[in-house]
Structures are given as C-alpha cells and as structure tokens.
Amino acid sequence: METPLVIVVTGANRGIGRAICAALAQQYPNPLILYAASRTGASLDLPNLAIPPTVSIRPAQVSLTDQASISAPSERIRNENKSCVVLINNAGLYYFQENITMAQCQETLDVNYRGTLNICQAFLPIMRKGGRIVNISSQSGQLKYFHPRLRARFLSPNLNLSKLDDLAEEYIRSADHYTATASGWPPLAYFTSKAALNSVTRILARENTKLLINCCCPGWVGTPLGAQAGQPPKSVEQGARIPLRLAIGEIEQISGRYWANDSVASVGYGKVQDW
C-alpha cells in the first residue's frame, strides 16, 4: 500500500473541527493518517460514518496553552519518520462580551494567536514540501475594526513576529488599563487575536515559500461559539468548506492570504479577500 500521508486537525472533538475531520476521513483520496487533536486527547467520535480502510484516525492531546502538549504531536510524527502534509489550526475560543477579565483577555490571545503560532512553529520543520497550513480565523479580525494607525502597523511589509508580539503586548497593556478602545483597538479581545493570527499567516507564508499557508473565516456557523452571537445560518459541514478547500482543494499556489465568502451566511468555498 502507498505510504499514508499525515494530516493534523486541532479542536477536532466538536464543531467545525469535527466536521473537517469527518469530511477528510470520507473524501481524502490517498491513504491517510488523521491526527484528531483535542484538549482531552480522547478518540474522535464519528458514529454512523463508514471510515474507509485507507484512513487511520488517531487521537492526540493538544492544549494551546501548554507548550509540552503543543510540541508532542510533531515530535511523535518526526519519531515515526513521517512528515505532515496538512496542519489545520481550527481550535479557538471566543468570550463574546466586552467586560471580560484580564485572565480571559490574556487566554484569548494565548490560544487564538500565541498558541496557534507555537503549533505552526512546532510543525514547520516536519512539513512536507508543498504542504499546507490552514489557520481558522474570523471576519472579526478585519482591520476595519482598528484605528488606521494600528491598521498600518498590522499591514506593514516590515511586520515580523517580534513586532507582532509587541503589538499583542501593547493591546494587553491597554486592555489592562481600560484604554483599549480609546487607543483604537476593537472592543473584544477575540478581534485582536484573529487579526494577529492573520498576520502570523502572512509572515509565516513569506518566510516559508515551499509551503502554502493561508487563513480563513468559515462564516457564521452553528456551534456553541457561533451561537453566542445569535442564530447562525450555516451548518458545521458548510463551515468546513473553506478550510477544506485551503487544506486539500484547488488554491492556485496562493499563500499568505485570508479567504472568506462575501457574506458570513454564504455557503460558498471562499475567495481571497482583503482583511
């Protein structure tokens, strides 16, 4: 049998991540080892799904605030002399209220931005040439929510990981002093975390030209996270469409870009958008 390719999905236990795993298990054209990573490390529960014998689904334990667990899956794959063809960074959290505690604000940045960057960095050395990284972002990360002065810093061609970290620290300091919105930051930590994730995508794509690294908004999707803002119009299967396209579909060698549909309700497969 052909050597199986390795795909890793974080936040695989529920929501969009679980739908991505279900689709990959059913549609992936080659023999596949699918690492379905979750905070508990439990096996992925996919009842009623006939998994083809060419697909092996393995659990992995990843908590994005714990560096040891962030490093473990890539070390395991390296120790098995394998490489990774696709990493889908789906795990994320959203405190959907303005008056969150500083701990929640810090956690939002730690998970959606810093932890996701850390797992990208753990995987970069074991990515297969031509492999893909998909970061699940959000329309909330669009720079229209930021003061033009901050927008220019996010969009600067000179932005690197160190300067991005400075921006994130600056946001945390102003949130701590209750001056974030007065200083031009958006009202919710989630927005800043996803703008930072979009920047991570752009910077890593520039630095890793043999890979395709993109981010996307899945739309407004019916999960506990999405339902905080009302009645989401999209199913998890529809929410998985853009991430799956960026992972295994036709994207014309595009890298470093943000993909979305024109509306968060649209069930299309996404296109490159400014953010």
Binding site for ligand NAP (CB under 6 A): 11, 13-17, 38-39, 62-65, 90-94, 111, 136, 138, 217-218, 220-221, 223-226, 232
DSSP state of 234: B
Q: Which is nearer to ligand NAP, 98 or 166 (CB)?
A: 98
Least spacing, CB of residue 182 vs ligand NAP, in Å: 26
Looking at the DSSP bridge assignments, the partners of residue 212 are 132
Least spacing, CB of residue 137 vs ligand NAP, in Å: 7
The token duo for 161 is 């990981």
Q: Which is nearer to ligand NAP, 179 or 263 (CB)?
A: 263
Instruction: Give the integer Cα–Cα distance in Å for 96 and 225.
Output: 8
Instruction: Give the integer Cα–Cα distance in Å for 178 and 182.
Output: 8
Least spacing, CB of residue 227 vs ligand NAP, in Å: 8
Least spacing, CB of residue 22 vs ligand NAP, in Å: 13
* Chain centroid offset of residue 102 CA: 23
Least spacing, CB of residue 3 vs ligand NAP, in Å: 29
Least spacing, CB of residue 7 vs ligand NAP, in Å: 16
The token duo for 39 is 């905070």
Residue among 140, 273, 116 at smallest CA distance from 194:
140
Q: Which is nearer to ligand NAP, 177 or 271 (CB)?
A: 271
* Chain centroid offset of residue 16 CA: 11
Q: Which is nearer to ligand NAP, 4 or 41 (CB)?
A: 41
Q: Which is nearer to ligand NAP, 152 or 249 (CB)?
A: 249
Q: Which is nearer to ligand NAP, 104 or 209 (CB)?
A: 104
* DSSP assignments along 159-203, one per residue: --HHHHHHHHHHHHHHHHTT-TTTTT--SSHHHHHHHHHHHHHHH
Residue among 130, 137, 83 at smallest CA distance from 111:
137
Looking at the DSSP bridge assignments, the partners of residue 33 are 6, 56
